[in-house]
Amino acid sequence: MFRHIVLLAWTADATAEQKADAAAQLAKLPGAIPEIRHYEIGVDAGVNEGNHDLAVVADFDDVDGYLVYRDHPAHLAVITDYLKPILATRAAVQHQL
């Protein structure tokens, strides 16, 4: 298996609706990209200061499956239309699982 993890932090002026839309649109991707084997989206619980706001952990059979996801038009559309407009910063790791 091959895992992709991304943590996103939203801009200070992002609205609750924009944040909810971003998570909801990401949640549709497993229905559009069959290479996704497991997909977890989580909104930060607010336990610690300084955290990012949203987490995605996506598992694939292999790196090729991840690359299909990374470059998939449905994924790129979510990034362009829902993530980038409210994105302050992101951090990512991909690793063998």
Residues that bind its own copies (CB under 8 A): 2-3, 5, 7, 9, 40, 42-45, 47-48, 50-55, 57, 63, 66-67, 70, 89, 91-97
Least distance in angstroms from the C-beta of 94 to its own copies: 5
CA distance 85 to 38: 26
CB 88 within 8 A of CB 9: yes
Percent helix, strand, coil in the chain, to 5, is 40, 35, 25
Least distance in angstroms from the C-beta of 10 to its own copies: 12
Least distance in angstroms from the C-beta of 83 to its own copies: 15
Q: Which is nearer to its own copies, 40 or 81 (CB)?
A: 40
Q: Which is nearer to its own copies, 50 or 73 (CB)?
A: 50
Tally the C-alpha atoms within 13 A of residue 40's C-alpha that lie toward its C-beta.
Answer: 9
Q: Which is nearer to its own copies, 46 or 73 (CB)?
A: 46
Gyration radius of the chain's alpha carbons: 13
Q: Which is nearer to its own copies, 2 or 82 (CB)?
A: 2
